[in-house]
Structure 1
Amino acid sequence: MTADLPPGKTSFAGLHHRPGEPLILPNAWDHASAATLAARGFPAIATSSLAVAAAAGLPDGESATREHTLRLALTLGSEPYHLSVDAEDGFSDDPAEVAVLARELWAVGAVGVNLEDGLGPSGRLAAKITAVKAAVPGMFVNARTDTYWSGDGDEKDTLRRLDTYQQAGADGVFVPGLTDPARIADLVRRLRVPLNILHSPAGPTVPRLAALGVARISLGSLLYRRALGAALDVMTDLAAGRAPGGTTPSYDEVRALARSVSASRSANSTG
């Protein structure tokens, strides 16, 4: 955790350039989840496309949640942490439309965006990256390839795609599904930009990923899925006559989160 690095002191991009100390980036799905994570000292919070989609009863990865994603960014963007938004493929194949989305996200306070290729043509995502960087130069663009997530993990294709995204202007690259330490280390050596890896409970630990040179470790939908699992565990325990375990914030603690966001919005509107 990096509680000694508040957003006002270290830029979001800067958090990706600390050798041996990767940015651990938790993914939230609403104000309460983001606020509780920020209160623990995490200087940057990302959104989770699966969580946003699931909460709205919509499919993930099918460009169905553009407006939901923007509304969440509007809620979180004025808070005192760096916000990165998972925007699937940009919700459009048109680079100009993706650039418009980036401007809208930047306007509400997001400083980073994650764009994925979905194993489509690498040139398509490259054009979106270039368009976003031209429209919002300060936006940190994290380019994701799905070669390991939904493909066969072809190393040559992965390298080719990542090189294309680097040349297009990506500030970082993301390879979810990659867990092999040797392949991670090889990518770190070959890349000119920070490497983002999705944490896997069955994969390398955070200290191991740090030692391999990984610059950013994302949690993806893990926290949201664990929250759903915790709800099921509580009900199972109660139904069986057992006292549920785990961490449970009090009613007043959760209610205080709503007061904090109201105060923040009031201050922004008068400032």
Structure 2
Amino acid sequence: MATSLGYADGELIDFHRHLASIQSIGDYVSISISAEIEGGYGHDAQSIIGNVSRTTDTGVAGINIEDAFKHQPGLRNVKEHCQLLANIRATLDNHGYKNFFINARTDTYFQLEQPYEETLTRAKAYVESGASSIFIPGLTDAYEIKGITRYGIYPSNKLSTVKSIRCKHFGFGHALSDKIIAHLTKNAAQLLESRATFCLYE
């Protein structure tokens, strides 16, 4: 979504505009939508919880929320992030959204050299704090995925072989849009170089 509006990833879109885009998509599709809200677009728990509530008002069925800081390196403290997830879940429950899907993303595999044990700790804690699912981008080792699922945690994952390793679902992030943009960029370069349109019809 960020790229389509001319922004890089990382909460650079104004949140009002982000919500408007989510609402626009929801107005034209008949399937359930899970909204990406990165780290929550807030600098404290109260503002993040408020943004989650505003997101639910668009009619989405769930959110994806991350534990990585957006404007500095590092991950949120486990206890603090668990408290945030618990407060989000309590707020949703109190407002009639008991089945709302919280996909908790952990960026351990992007930020740590030896991420497995920390990932397991965070995944278990996030589920206990109200997360519906765990998203672990960068996790591709089937043995490690199976190790996590042994604890009853079934992560989302960016693999095509998810069925055999018991992932509940998988995602591809912005990989598809990146492919499309790369194709457009390549063809635009050819147009400029050749000053002809024949390359578009090959």
TM-score range, shorter chain: 0.7 to 0.9
TM-aligned CA distance change 1:138 to 1:103, over 3 Å: farther
Are residue 68 (structure 1) and residue 17 (structure 2) matched? yes
The CA deviation at 1:107 is 1.3
SS in 1 for 2:157: strand
Q: From the two aligned structures, give the one with the greater strand fraction.
A: 1
Q: Residues 109 and 139 of structure 2 are in contact (CA less than 8 Å); yes or no, is this contact kept in structure 1?
A: yes
2:71 match: none
Contact 1:185/1:212 (8 A) holds in 2: yes
Aligned length: 187
What stretches of structure 2 of length at least 5 have no aligned partner?
A: 69-74, 93-97
Cα deviations by residue, 1:223-262 (Å, 9 ceiling, x for unpaired)? 221121010122244444653369xxxxxxxxxxxxxxxx
Q: Which amino acid aligns with 1:182?
A: Y
Q: Distance in 2 between matches of 1:216 and 1:77?
A: 21
47, 57, 63: which one pairs with 1:97? 47
Tell me, yes or no, if the aligned pair for 1:63 and 1:92 is still in contact at 8 Å.
Answer: no
Asked which structure has the greater RCO (Cα within 8 Å, sep 6+), the reply is 1
- Partner residue of 1:177 out of 131, 138, 148: 138
Percent identity over the alignment is: 22
Q: 2:156 aligns with which of 178, 193, 196?
A: 196
Look up the match of 1:106: 56
1:43 maps to what in 2? Answer: none
For residues 90-112 of structure 1, the C-alpha deviation after alignment (integer angstroms, 9 at most, x for no partner) is: 11243332222222111111111
Aligned-residue Cα RMSD (Å) equals: 2.2
Query: 1:126 — aligned with what?
Result: 82
User: Moved runs in structure 1, 4+ residues, more than 6 A?
Assistant: none
User: Structure 2 CA distance, aligned partners of 1:63 and 1:130?
Assistant: 26
1:232 aligned to 2:181? no
Compute the TM-score of the two structures, normalised by the length of structure 2. 0.82
CA 1:213–1:94 in 2, change beyond 3 Å: closer, same or farther? same
CA distance in structure 1 between the aligned counterparts of 2:124 and 2:174, rounded to whole angstroms: 27
Q: Per-residue deviation at 1:169?
A: 0.7
Q: Quote the residue 2:38 is aligned against.
A: 88
- TM-score, normalised to structure 1, is 0.63
Q: 1:142, 1:110 → 2: CA distance?
A: 13
Please state how far the C-alpha of 1:214 moved relative to its aligned partner. 1.0
